[in-house]
Amino acid sequence: MRFLRFLVPAVALAGTVAAQAPNYEIYAIKYATLKQFPLGGLVEGESRNTRLDIGMYIFLIKGGGKNILFDCGFYRPQFLRQWKPADYEIPSAAVERMGLKAADISDVIISHIHWDHADGFDLFPNAKIWIQKEEVEYYAGEAFNGKKRSAADPDDIVGIVRMNTEGRVGLVPGDAQEFLPGITAYIGGKHTYQSQFITVKTAAGNVVLASDNVYLYMNLEKHKPIAQSLDKESNLRAQDRMKDLAANPKLIVPGHDPAIMNNFPEAAPGVVKIQ
Ligand SMILES: [Zn+2]
């Protein structure tokens, strides 16, 4: 009996936590364009001679008193020099289009360690960083073992490890983890060693923010893997799973498709409201 007296409040508490998950609003903020990117670098089997201007996005998730970013863009000079983005605005300023300052961002979820998704990790002074545990471990260690180059820029991975020493990093421990109320991380896709995508609870049901685990709508429509994957079969399985997880297929949002800006209503200049 004594045991049960403790058990009952614990169950009641778990129910309360689930009920507390807000219906979030989600916005795509376009902070740059990469011109004339080869389609064959995005969708397996397509031509490298076909080119398109791709969108560079950060996603703002608002709800429950939080301003959460999914991916945080780039700003270090080596990337600006190498990639020469058009229409570029530093992500910490791009959030001002939604009436927010960099200091208002409470959390930054990093889908994977690539420069255009992770490099802005230190632009938001009050944010907690969320990233897959194995993504950090691999790119802080084995990926550089005896090599000078990896998918991770040294500034980014070293900076995230340093932030971890300051207690500001949440290491997401694998698959199907609801690490914030109503926001669940899934692994799969193998765009990098442990890239992740998320589902976000909204009034319309779950939205999938795929990041580069799906580059373009074409990946989903033609059922073709992303052109950069460590495991193409795993990538297709992740795409299939997204179709099961999303409230409807239109609520799977790819990482770089320019059509995102046309498929949803405009909320501010260069910003659309996904839900
Ligand atoms: Zn990317």
CATH code (residue 187): 3.60.15.10
Task: Write out the H or E segment, with its range, that includes residue 254.
Answer: strand 252-254
Return the percentage of the chain with pLDDT > 70, whole number: 93
CA of 30 to the centre of ligand 1 (A): 13
Res 150: pLDDT: 84
Name 23's Cβ contacts closer than 8 Å, sequence gap at least 6: 63, 182, 201, 202, 203
Work out the average pLDDT over 44-54. Answer: 97
Pick 89 or 229 by higher pLDDT.
89
- Per the CB < 8 A criterion, the answer to whether 91 and 31 are in contact is yes
C-alpha 23 to ligand 1 mean position (Å): 27
97 within a domain of the structure (yes/no): yes
Assess if residue 11 is contained within a domain.
no
- CA of 247 from ligand 1 middle (Å) equals 24
For residues 227 and 40, is the Cβ–Cβ distance under 8 A?
yes
Q: What is the model's pLDDT at position 19?
A: 55
How far apart are the CA of 105 and the centre of ligand 1, in A? 21
pLDDT at 18: 52
pLDDT class for 11, splitting at 50, 70, 90? Answer: very low
Give residue 217's pLDDT: 98
Count of other CB atoms within 10 angstroms of residue 209: 29
**β-strands 252-254, 205-211 pairing:** parallel
- What is the Å distance from ligand 1's center to 11 Cα? 41
Tally the domains of the chain. Answer: 1
pLDDT at position 147 is 80
Q: Residue 212 C-alpha to ligand 1 middle, in angstroms?
A: 5
Taking the C-alpha atoms of residue 128 and residue 274, their distance in angstroms, rounded to an integer, is 24
Q: Which residue has the higher pLDDT, 12 or 215?
A: 215
In a domain, 14, yes or no: no
Tokens of 4: 């049960």
Distance 153 CA to ligand 1 centre (A): 14
pLDDT of residue 12: 46
Tell me the pLDDT of the chain averaged across its residues: 93
In a domain? residue 15? no
- What's the rounded mean pLDDT across residues 72-79? 97
CA of 232 to the centre of ligand 1 (A): 17
CA distances from 22 to 7, 66, 146, 203 (A): 26, 10, 46, 9
Expressed in angstroms and rounded, the spacing between residue 113 Cα and the centre of ligand 1 is: 10
| CA 96 – ligand 1 centroid, Å | 22
Stretch among 38-47, 63-72, 140-149, 219-228 having the lowest mean pLDDT: 140-149
Q: What is the pLDDT of residue 13?
A: 47
- Specify the pLDDT at position 15: 45
CA of 115 to the centre of ligand 1 (A): 8
**216 C-alpha to ligand 1 centroid (Å):** 11
Q: Is 32 left (phi over 0), alpha (psi -120 to 50) or beta?
A: beta
Evaluate if residue 10 carries a pLDDT over 50: no
Domain membership of residue 16 (yes or no) is: no
Please check the confidence at residue 3 and state whether its pLDDT lies above 60.
Answer: no
Pairing of strands 177-180, 107-109: unpaired
- Does residue 173 form part of some domain? yes
Within a domain: 228: yes
Residue 218 in any domain: the answer is yes
Phi, psi of 167 (to 5 degrees): 75, 20
Spatial distance between the Cα atoms of 94 and 72, rounded to a whole number of angstroms = 10
Secondary element (H or E) of residue 128:
strand 128-132
Q: Give the CA count within 13 Å in the CB-facing half-sphere of 36.
A: 3
Please, which pLDDT band fits residue 255 given cuts at 50, 70 and 90?
very high
Query: Domain limits at 103?
Result: 24-273
Q: Residues 207-230: pLDDT tens digits? A: 999 999 999 999 999 999 999 888
**CA separation for the pair 94, 244 (Å, rounded):** 32
Return d(Cα 108, Cα 160) in angstroms, integer: 12
Mean pLDDT, residues 217-246: 95
